[in-house]
C-alpha cells in the first residue's frame, strides 16, 4: 500500500523569473520588480532575483534602498496580469497529477499524494511545471504540511545560475531533529522575527530549546493556546490533510504609497475614505460581511503602525466600513508625515 505524502511546490523567484523568461537578455543579471519600476520613486520591492538577493535586496524593501544596495540592478514595474497568467498555467499543470491540489497563492501549492516514491513524483512535477510555464520550482516533501513547507526551503537553489537536478528535499519525523534542532526558532513556519525575539528573551534561541521548553512557562508567557502551539511547532507537528476546496479570503485590503509625504489631516482622511470605499467593494464582491476594520499608516521615513476596530455587527455597507476606518484613523498620532496608508477588512461568514 502506498504511503501518503504532502508535497509543497513553490516557484523559484516567481515574479523575477517571469520577467527574465520574457526578457532572456536579463538572465544572470540582478533584477528587481516593484512599484512602477522607478527606483527613485516611492515603492517597495515585490521580488528580487537571486543575483539581486546576493546584494541584500529582499521583498518589502523600499526601492530606493534596493537601488543603493544594488545600483547595477535592472528595475522593472509590476505587471500583475502577466504574473496571473503564469500562475494559472502553474496550477493547471499541478492539477494534471493524481493528487489533491491546494493552491496557496500565485506561486505555491500543497499536494496530497499516495506514492511509494515521492522524490520521483517531485521530479515529474518539476519537469512538467518547467515545460508548462518555462519556470523552475522547488518541491518540499513531508509527512505533514509543516514539514513539507519547511522542506521547500532546503530544496531552493543554492546558486543563482539555475537549479540543480533533483531539486527536492524530504523532511519527516525521522530526520527532523538532525535537520532542525540547531536552527533558530524563526526557521519554523509560524514563528516570525518578533516572536523569535520574545522567545530569546525567555532564554529560548533554537528549535531544540523550544521543543524542550516547559509548557506551563510557555503558556504563562505567550498564552494558554499560543505558548503550547509554539512548542508543538518545534516538534514538527502539523496537519496532514490537503484540501482542494476553493480558497476563501480571510480579508480584503487596499493600500497606497504616496510619492510625496502627506501632512494635511484632511488629505489623509480623504485618502483613507477612498481606500475604504475600494475595500467595501471587494467585501461586497466576496459576498461575506466585514467584522473588523484595520488601518495601516507608514510614517516617514519607514515606521509602520496599525490599529483596528471590531464592528458592532457584520456589515458590507460602504458607509459603515468607511466610518470605522475614519474612527480608527483618529487613534494615530498624526504629527508626522505619512508615506503610506492602508485599509483592511477582515471577513466573517456570509
pLDDT of residue 43: 85
Candidates 108, 209, 320, 346; catalytic one: 108
pLDDT tens for the chain, residues 1 to 350: 679 999 999 999 999 999 999 999 999 999 999 989 999 988 889 999 999 999 999 988 899 999 999 999 999 999 999 999 999 999 999 999 999 999 998 899 999 999 999 999 999 999 999 999 999 999 999 999 999 999 999 998 764 455 554 589 999 999 999 999 999 999 999 899 889 999 999 999 999 999 999 999 999 999 999 999 999 999 999 999 998 887 777 899 999 988 889 999 999 999 999 999 999 999 998 889 999 999 999 998 888 999 999 999 999 999 999 999 999 999 998 788 999 999 999 998 76
pLDDT of residue 177: 97
pLDDT of residue 333: 82
Which domains can be identified in the chain, with CATH numbers? 1-172 (3.30.70.270), 182-234 (1.10.150.20), 251-347 (3.30.1490.100)
Is 108 assigned a catalytic role? Answer: yes
pLDDT of residue 273: 96
Per-residue b or e along 31-50, where b marks 16 or more CB atoms closer than 10 Å to that residue's CB: bbbbbebebeebbbbbbbbb
Amino acid at each position: 500500500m502506498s504511503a501518503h505524502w504532502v508535497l509543497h511546490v513553490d516557484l523559484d523567484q516567481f515574479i523575477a523569473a517571469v520577467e527574465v523568461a520574457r526578457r532572456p537578455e536579463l538572465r544572470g543579471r540582478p533584477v528587481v520588480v516593484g512599484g512602477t519600476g522607478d527606483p527613485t520613486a516611492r515603492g517597495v520591492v515585490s521580488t528580487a532575483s537571486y543575483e539581486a538577493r546576493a546584494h541584500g535586496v529582499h521583498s518589502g524593501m523600499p526601492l530606493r534602498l534596493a537601488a543603493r544596495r544594488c545600483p547595477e540592478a535592472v528595475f522593472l514595474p509590476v505587471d500583475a496580469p502577466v504574473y496571473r497568467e503564469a500562475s494559472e498555467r502553474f496550477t493547471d499543470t499541478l492539477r494534471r497529477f493524481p493528487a489533491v491540489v491546494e493552491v496557496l497563492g500565485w506561486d505555491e501549492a500543497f499536494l496530497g499524494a499516495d506514492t511509494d516514491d515521492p522524490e520521483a513524483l517531485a521530479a515529474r512535477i518539476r519537469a512538467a511545471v518547467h515545460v508548462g510555464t518555462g519556470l523552475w520550482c522547488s518541491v518540499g516533501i513531508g509527512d505533514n504540511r509543516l514539514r513539507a513547507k519547511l522542506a521547500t526551503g532546503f530544496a531552493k537553489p543554492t546558486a543563482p545560475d539555475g537549479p540543480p537536478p533533483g531539486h527536492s528535499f524530504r523532511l519527516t519525523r525521522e530526520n527532523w531533529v538532525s535537520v532542525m534542532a540547531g536552527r533558530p526558532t524563526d526557521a519554523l513556519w509560524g514563528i516570525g522575527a518578533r516572536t523569535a525575539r520574545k522567545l530569546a528573551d525567555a532564554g529560548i534561541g533554537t528549535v531544540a530549546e523550544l521543543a524542550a521548553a516547559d509548557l506551563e512557562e510557555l503558556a504563562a508567557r505567550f498564552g494558554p493556546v499560543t505558548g503550547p502551539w509554539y512548542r508543538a511547532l518545534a516538534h514538527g507537528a502539523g496537519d496532514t490533510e490537503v484540501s482542494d476546496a476553493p480558497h476563501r479570503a480571510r480579508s480584503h485590503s487596499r493600500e497606497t504609497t504616496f510619492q510625496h509625504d502627506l501632512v494635511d489631516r484632511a488629505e489623509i482622511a480623504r485618502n483613507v475614505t477612498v481606500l475604504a470605499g475600494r475595500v467595501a467593494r471587494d467585501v461586497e464582491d466576496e459576498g461575506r460581511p466585514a467584522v473588523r476594520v484595520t488601518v495601516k499608516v507608514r510614517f516617514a521615513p519607514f515606521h509602520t503602525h496599525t490599529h483596528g476596530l471590531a464592528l458592532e455587527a457584520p456589515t458590507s455597507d460602504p458607509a459603515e466600513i468607511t466610518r470605522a476606518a475614519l474612527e480608527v484613523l483618529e487613534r494615530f498620532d498624526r504629527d508626522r508625515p505619512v508615506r503610506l496608508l492602508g485599509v483592511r477588512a477582515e471577513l466573517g461568514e456570509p
